[in-house]
């Protein structure tokens, strides 16, 4: 099992509100500092694929897996040859609040070698994007 790197935030928004925004890829550029647009076909369901276009001008092919409406999903991509990145996105009730978390696992043949270097690097902005997502859900 690959090691996960990431963080979580708590929000007063309901899990449903968070899910509505997180599962609407057309809004990702509004709150995710890395995303300019998502070119996605097939809807927000396991097995659908598309391209994440970053503000830095990169284009990452991705696949949506383990979609559990209202609870979470994962995105898989291969950014670096020999590695497989899996972004785990989760929504959990936390008393009167909602816990929103995102982690990344680095797998593949070079995962064990690259994970310790790439995991912290890739996950460093998760706190920002989760806080932005939480704020957007709170005002939705």
Average pLDDT over residues 66-80: 94
User: How many residues are there in the chain?
Assistant: 140
pLDDT in tens, 80-110: 889 999 999 999 999 999 999 999 999 999 9
**With bands split at pLDDT 50, 70 and 90, how would you rate the model's confidence at 114?**
confident
Q: In this model, does residue 75 exceed pLDDT 80?
A: yes
Whole domain around residue 56: which residue ranges?
A: 4-139
Please report the beta strands in 35-96, taking only residues with DSSP state E, as ranges in sequence order: 35-41, 49-54, 59-68, 72-77, 84-94
pLDDT in tens, 28-61: 999 999 999 999 988 999 999 999 999 999 999 9
Cα four-point dihedral sign 100, 67, 125, 52:
negative
What's the pLDDT at 50? 97
Q: What is the C-alpha separation between 57 and 75, in angstroms, rounded?
A: 19
What proportion of the chain, given as a percentage, has pLDDT over 90? 84
Measured CA angle at 25 (ends 24, 27), to 5 deg: 80
Our count of domains for the chain comes to: 1
**With bands split at pLDDT 50, 70 and 90, how would you rate the model's confidence at 140?**
confident
CB 73, CB 63: distance < 8 Å: no
Instruction: Output the domain CATH number for residue 65.
Output: 3.30.530.20
67 token code pair:
């979609």
CB 80, CB 60: distance < 8 Å: no
In 36-61, which positions are buried (b, 16+ CB within 10 angstroms) versus exposed (e)? eebebeeeeeeebebebbeeeeeebe
Q: In this model, does residue 1 exceed pLDDT 60?
A: no
């Amino acid at each position: 099992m690959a090691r996960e790197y990431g963080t979580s935030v708590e929000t007063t928004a309901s899990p449903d509100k968070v899910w509505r925004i997180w599962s609407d890829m057309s809004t990702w550029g509004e709150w995710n500092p890395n995303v300019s647009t998502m070119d996605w076909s097939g809807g927000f369901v396991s097995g659908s694929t598309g391209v994440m276009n970053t503000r830095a001008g990169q284009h990452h092919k991705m696949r949506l897996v383990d979609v559990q409406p209202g609870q979470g999903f994962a995105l898989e991509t291969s950014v670096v040859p020999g590695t497989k990145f899996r972004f785990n996105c989760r929504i959990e009730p936390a008393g009167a609040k909602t816990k929103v978390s995102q982690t990344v696992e680095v797998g593949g043949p070079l995962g064990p070698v690259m994970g310790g270097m790439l995991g912290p690097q890739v996950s460093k902005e998760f706190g920002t994007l989760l806080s932005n997502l939480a704020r957007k859900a709170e005002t939705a």
